[in-house]
Amino acid sequence: MTSHSQRSDGPRRQSDGNAPEASRDGQAGQAGARVRFVRRGRAEDAPPLRDDPAPRWQPALLILLLWFLVWMATKGSDTLALQGRDQTGIMHALNDFRDSMLRGRDTNPVMRLSGTIADGFRGLVAWLQRLISIPAAPRPVPEIGWLGVTVVATWIGYAVANWRIALLVLGTFVSYGAFGYWSDSMDLLIIVGISVLVCVLIGVPLGILAGTSRRANAVIEPVLDLLQTMPTFVYLLPIVLFFGIGSASAVVATVLYAAPPLIRIAAHGIRSVPPTMLEVGQSLGQTRAQQLRKIQIPMAKRTIIVGLNQTTMAALSMATIASFVDGPGLGKPVLAGLRINDVGTALIPGLLIVATAIMLDRATTAASERADVIARGGGLPARVHRGILLGGAVVTLGALYLSRLMFWAAQFTDHGWGRRLAEVTDHAVDSATAAMSPITSGIKDGISYAFLNPLQDFIAESPWWLAFAGIAALAFVLGGWRALAPAVVCLAGMRALGEWHNAMITLAMTLVATVMCMALAVVIGVAMARRGSVDLAIRPILDAGQTIPAFVYLVPVLALFGPSRFTGIVAALAYAAPVSIKLVADGVKGVSATTMEAARASGASRMQQIRLVQLPMARSALVLATNQGLLFVLAMAVIAGMVGAGALGYEVVLGSSRSEEWGKGAAAGMTIVLLGILLDRIARRAAGPAPEGTRWFPVLRRRGH
Amino acid sequence: MTTDSALKVRGLWKIFGPKAERLIGTPDAALSRKDLQAKSGHVIGVRDVSFDVAPGEVFVVMGLSGSGKSTLVRLLTRLIEPTAGSVHLDGIDLTGMDENALREVRRRKVSMVFQHFGLLPHRKVIDNVGFGLEVRGEGKTARRVRAQDMIDLVGLSGYEQNFPDQLSGGMQQRVGLARALAGDPAVLMFDEPFSALDPLIRRDMQKEVIRLHHEVGKTMVFITHDLDEALKLGDRILIMRDGEIVQIGPPDEIIAAPADDYVKDFVADVNKSHVLTLRWVMRPPDSPDEGVGAPTLPQSTIVREAARTVLAHQGVVRVVDADDKFVGVVDDEDILRVVVAEQDA
Ligand SMILES: Nc1ncnc2c1ncn2[C@@H]1O[C@H](COP(=O)(O)OP(=O)(O)OP(=O)(O)O)[C@@H](O)[C@H]1O
Ligand SMILES: [Mg+2]
C-alpha cells in the first residue's frame, strides 16, 4: 500500500517539477495531472488497488501464456509470409496509383506544382555543382577550383567564427580533396546549404508564428509531431513520387526532416520570453509589432541560433541518407560500399561525413558564441579584425584567380592516397574483425540465440490472427481502452497492407533493441547521475554519438558483425542509446538533493536509494527515454534493412530505388509508421500519463538522423 | 478632491475565471474567496475597490502575498482587464477606451516599475532607459539625450554602455526607475520594486524614491508588503486582504486606529514612536487654559520628535491643530506609554 501511494504520487510530483514557470500555470498543470490520473483508474474499470502498475503484469503474463499455448499448436500456419518478391493486391494498387500520378504529371495541379519546385531545385543544385563540384563545360573543371573554394571557406570560417574554426575548415576541405572525394563532398555541402537556407526561410517565420499564436500552433504542432515521429526513411517514398529521383528529392526530404527542430525551437524561444518582459512593453504602450520586433525576437535570438545548429546537423544527416534516392553527396560512396559489404570503400567517405559534421557543428556553435561576444562589444578591436578580414579577402581573391587559371589549383592532383588508404583500412579492418571475431560472434550468437530468434519465432511464426489478438490483449491489460483502440486500428492497418510477416520480424528486432537500449540507459544513466566524474567522461561521447549522421554508424557495425539482423540491432542501439542515456541521467539527477538526503538519513543502502527513490522519482524520464528509444530504434531499423536486418527496412530501401518495387516499399513504409504508433501508444499508456510537451525537448542537444 | 484627483477608482472588480462577468451582482460574488473558488473555480483578485489618489500624492497599497496588490495595480492601467468598475486617470476614463487610445495613455501618462526590474537583457542601460521613448516613436538623438538625463538623475552616470546583467540589483532597479521617468508620465506605479533587494540597498532606494518625489513631484502608486516601507513612503496607505480594502488612511492613523485585528497584527511590531503623531496620544484638555505657559506643539508632530520637549518639561505640553487651535495636552506618561509598549513588543 505504501508503494502504491508512493507510485501514484510520482507523476504528480514530476509534473510539479516540470512546471517551474508561473505558479498560475503550475496550479493548472497540477490539477490536470491529477484529473488524468483519476480518469485512468476509471478507464480500466478496476478497483482502486489495481491502479498500481505492478499487478497489471499478471494478466499480461497470463495472456503470454495463452498465446504460447496456442502458438505451440498452430505455429507456422497463416503467418502471411510473402514468397520471394510476391506482391499483394494493395501493393499493386499502390503501384497503379503511382503510375496514374506520374501519367498526370502535366495535368494534375499538385504534380505540376511539385514538378516546378523540383525543376527549380534541380536547376539550382546543377548550377552550384558546375560552380564548385563538376566540370562546367566547356571547361574540363568547375568554374571555381578546389583552391578557391577552400580558401573562401576558410576565410568565411574566420569571418563568422575564429581562426581555430578557420583551421578546422581548411583541414576538412583539404582532406576532401586529398582522399579523392572532392565532388561528392561539394555536392553534400550544396544539398545541405540549400536545405538549411530553405529551412531558415520557412522555419523561422513558422516558428515565430507558432510561438505567438495559439491557434497557429494548434495546426503546426501536430504536423511537426507527425514529421518527427515518422522514421526518416518513410518519407523518401512519397517524396520520390512527387519530386522524382535525384537532387530535388534530396533537398525536399532534407528540408522536411531538418525544419521541424528549427520551427520547434524558434517557437519555444519566443514562448519562453518571460511574461514580465511582455508586460513591460505593454505598460509602455507598445504595439504587437513592436513587441515582436523589439522584445520577442531579440530575446529568442540565441535560442533560434541553437535551433539553426540543430537544423544544420539534421540536414547533414538526412542529406547523406538521401543518397538512397540518388541524392548527390558523400552518402553515395558510403551506400555503394555498404551495398557490397565493402567496409574499406565505405569507411573513408564515412569518416569525411563525420569530419563534415564536426566542422559544421563547431562552426555554427562558435559563430553563435562570437555573435554574442560582438553584440556585447567584446572580441578583437574592430580595426584589427577588419584588417585581418581585408587581408584574407585579398588572399582569397588571389586563390580564386589561380583556381580559375591553373589546372593544379582547379583539380586536386590524384595521388592515389584515398585508394591506398582504403586498401590499407580494408586490410586493417579485415584483420581486426578476424581477431575480434571470437568475441563479436560470441556476442552476436549469444543474443541471437538467447533472445532474438526465440522472440522472432514466437511473434512472427504465430498465425497472424493469434499475434493480432495477443498484441491487442496486451495493449488492453497494459494500457486500458485508450491503448486498445489505437492498437486495434494500427494492427488492422498492418494486416491490410500485406506486410504482416515482415512487420512481426521487425517488431521482434525492435523489442530486443529497445530492451537492450533501456538496460544500457538505466545502468549508464544512473551511474552518470550519481557521479559527476562519470558524467564528465561519458557525456562528450554521447554528444559526439548524436552529432554523427545515423547512416555512418552502419559502417563500423557492419565491419564488426557482418551483415545480419544483429547488425541492425547494434546499429539501432548505437543510434538510440545516447538519447535514452541522457534522458535517464538528467531525470535521475533531477531528483531533489533533499529527498536523497532524507533517504540516506533513513539508512537506505546504495541499491535501495536507486531502486526505491531515484528510479521511481525519475519515472517520467524513464518513460520518455523508452519512448524516444523506441522511435529511434525503429527509425534505424529501416536503414539497417540494407545491412542484413531485412524485413520491413529492406522493402523500403528497395522500394525507394526500384520502380517496380515502389508499391511494396510504400506498403512497408506505412507499416513501419503504424508499428511506431502502436508501440508508442502502448508504451505511453502502460506507463501512465506521460508528461506532455517534454517529449522532444530534452533530446534537443543533438537529434542525429 | 474627487474632481481633480490624479486617479479615481470606483467599484473595481477582478474575478479570474471563464464566467467572471456573470458573477458580478449575484450572491456568489459576496462569497469569501475560498468559498467561491471551491464552488465555481473562480478566483477573486480584487473585490469592489474604490479610492482616490490626489496629484503629487504617494499612495501605498499593502497587504500579504496573494492579497491582490499586483492585480490591483495592473487593473489601473488595464494590463489586466477589470471585470467591473471604472478607473479615471487625470480625469480620463480608461475603462471604456479602445486599444489605441489606451496605448497612447500608457505611452504618455503612466509608467510602471516592476518587482524583478523587467530590463531587456539584450539592450544596454541607455537603450533600456530610452525604450519607452523608442516605443512611442521618438528619434534616436532626442531619445539618447533624454535617457542620459534620466540616468544622471538616478545616479547611474558612467554605466550607460553596460548591459543589465553587469549591474547589481539596486542599480538595475535604478535603470527601471529611470525608464519609468523617461516618458515624463503623470503617474508612476511601483509593483513591489524593492522586495528583491537586500535591506541596505532597499533603504537606499527608498531614500532615492523620496528624493525623486521631491524633485519631480509625480503622483505615485506604490505596492509593497513591507510595512516599514509603506510607513516611510506613504502619504496614505491602503491595506488589502483577499482582494478587499480593509483600511485606507495616513500612516499614523493606521497605527493608532487599526480597523480590525488583521491590521492590528500587521502593525504590532512597528516602531510606533516613529510614526504616531501627538494627535493619537494626546488627551482632551480638562479646561481651555490647562498648561498655559507650557511649550506648544502641532498635533502632527511625531511622538519621537516630541519626546525631548515633553520629557524636558515638568507637567503637560499643549497640542494645537493646523489652525493653531488648542486641541489637547500630553504629558511624560503619554509619551512613555508609546515608547515602552514598543520595547515590550
Ligand atoms: N491570471 C490569474 N488567474 C487566476 N488567478 C489569479 C491570476 N492572477 C492572480 N490570481 C490570483 O489572484 C490573487 C491575487 O494575486 P496577486 O498577484 O495580485 O497578489 P499579490 O498581492 O500581488 O501577491 P504577491 O505579494 O505575492 O505579489 C492570488 O490568489 C492569485 O492566485
Ligand atoms: Mg505581486
Hey, is the C-beta of B134 within 8 angstroms of any chain A C-beta? yes
CB A6 within 8 A of CB A20: no
The residue whose CA is least distant from atom 7 of ligand 1 is: B16
| Nearest-angstrom CA–CA distance, B74 and B17 | 17
Q: Considering Cα of B319, then B320, then B322, then B324, what sign does the dihedral take?
A: negative
CA A146 – CA A175 distance, rounded (Å): 11
Tell me what the mean pLDDT of segment A418-433 comes to.
78
In this structure, the residue with its CA closest to atom 6 of ligand 1 is B16
pLDDT 10s digits, A517-572? 889 998 998 888 888 888 888 888 888 777 778 778 888 888 777 777 788 888 88
> Residue A53, exposed/middle/buried by CB under 10 A (0-12, 13-18, 19+)?
middle
Alpha helices by DSSP H, A140-285: 146-160, 163-178, 182-212, 214-229, 236-243, 247-271, 275-283
Show Cβ contacts of residue A680 under 8 Å, excluding neighbours closer than 6 positions: A229, A627, A630, A631
CB distance A292 to A211 below 8 Å: no
B103 touches chain A (CB under 8 A): yes
CB A253 within 8 A of CB A118: no
A80 closest CA partner among A593, A653, A462:
A462
Average pLDDT on A104-125 reads 83
* 3-state secondary structure at position A414: coil
Decide if A276 touches B, using CB distance below 8 A. Answer: yes
In one-letter notation, the amino acid at residue A191 is I
Give A357: exposed, middle or buried? Use CB within 10 Å, 0-12, 13-18, 19+.
buried
Residue A691 C-alpha to ligand 2 middle, in angstroms?
29
| Residue pairs between chains A and B whose CB atoms are closer than 8 Å | 60
Per-residue model confidence as pLDDT tens digits over B120-140: 888 899 999 999 999 888 899
Disruptive mutation site among B74, B106, B184 for chain A (greatest number of A CBs within 10 Å): B106
Ligand closest to the CA atom of residue A25:
1
Domains within chain A, CATH numbers bracketed: 108-137+184-329 (1.10.3720.10), 144-181+348-428 (no CATH), 436-700 (1.10.3720.10)
- Can you read off the three cell numbers belonging to residue A557? 557495425
Whether A280 and chain B come into contact, CB under 8 Å, resolves to yes
Residue A287 has its nearest CB partner, among B103, B110, B123, at B103
- pLDDT of A22 higher than 50: no
Which comes out higher in pLDDT, residue A135 or A693? A135
Half-sphere exposure of residue A284: CA atoms within 13 angstroms, side-chain side: 32
Q: CA of A271 to nearest chain B CA: how many angstroms apart?
A: 16
First to last CA, chain A: 44
Q: Which residue of A has its CA nearest to B132?
A: A284
pLDDT for residue A52 is more than 60: no
Please tell me the predicted confidence (pLDDT) of residue A19.
33
Order across the sheet with B326-330: list the strands: B296-298, B317-320, B326-330
Please provide the distance, in angstroms rounded to a whole number, between the alpha carbons at the two ends of chain B: 38
pLDDT, chain A, mean: 78
Chain B residue numbers with beta carbons less than 8 Å from the beta carbon of A301 are 122
* Residues of chain B contacting residue A283, judged by C-beta atoms under 8 Å apart: 77, 79, 106, 110-112
Min Cα distance A269 → chain B (Å) is 14
Q: What is the C-alpha to C-alpha distance for residues A547 and A541, in angstroms, rounded to an integer?
A: 10
Displacement of CA A254 from its chain's centroid (Å):
12
pLDDT of B343: 58
Residue A79, pLDDT > 80, answer no
CB B113 within 8 A of CB B189: yes
pLDDT at position B49, please?
Answer: 93
Task: Give the pLDDT of residue A84.
Answer: 66
Residues A492, A658, A241, A120, Cα dihedral to 10°: 150
Q: Please tell me the pTM assigned to this model.
A: 0.77
C-beta atoms surrounding B290 within 10 Å: 15
CB A587 within 8 A of CB A622: yes
By CA distance, what is A376's nearest residue in B? B163
- Interface contact flag, A280 B116, Cβ < 8 Å: no
In this structure, the residue with its CA closest to atom 28 of ligand 1 is B66
How many CB atoms are closer than 10 A to CB A138? 5
CA of B65 to the centre of ligand 2 (A): 7
**A285: which chain B residues are within 8 Å (Cβ-Cβ)?**
102-108, 132, 135-136
All cell numbers assigned to A321: 541518407
pLDDT single digits (tens) A221-280: 888 877 877 777 777 878 888 888 888 989 999 999 889 889 988 998 898 888 889 999
What distance in Å separates the CA atoms of residue A191 and residue A356, rounded to the nearest whole number?
13
Ligand 1 is surrounded, with C-beta below 6 A, by: A 24; B 16, 43, 45, 63, 65-71, 225
Burial of residue B286, with CB atoms counted within 10 A of its CB: 0-12 exposed, 13-18 middle, 19 or more buried:
exposed
Which H or E run includes A385? helix A382-405
The share of chain B scoring above pLDDT 90, in percent, equals 30
Question: For residue A513, what are the CA distances in angstroms to A439, A474, A571?
Answer: 19, 20, 9
Per-residue H/E/C for chain B: CCCCCCEEEEEEEEEECCCHHHHCCCHHHHCCHHHHHHHHCCEEEEEEEEEEECCCCEEEEEECCCCCHHHHHHHCCCCCCCCEEEEEECCEECCCCCHHHHHHHHHHCEEEECCCCCCCCCCCHHHHHCHHHHHCCCCHHHHHHHHHHHHHHCCCCCCCCCCHHHCCHHHHHHHHHHHHHHCCCCEEEEECCCCCCCHHHHHHHHHHHHHHHHHHCCEEEEEECCHHHHHHHCCEEEEEECCEEEEEECHHHHHHCCCCHHHHHHHCCCCHHHHCEHHHCCECCCCCCCCCCCCEEECCCEHHHHHHHHHHCCCCEEEECCCCCEEEEECHHHHHHHHHHHHHC
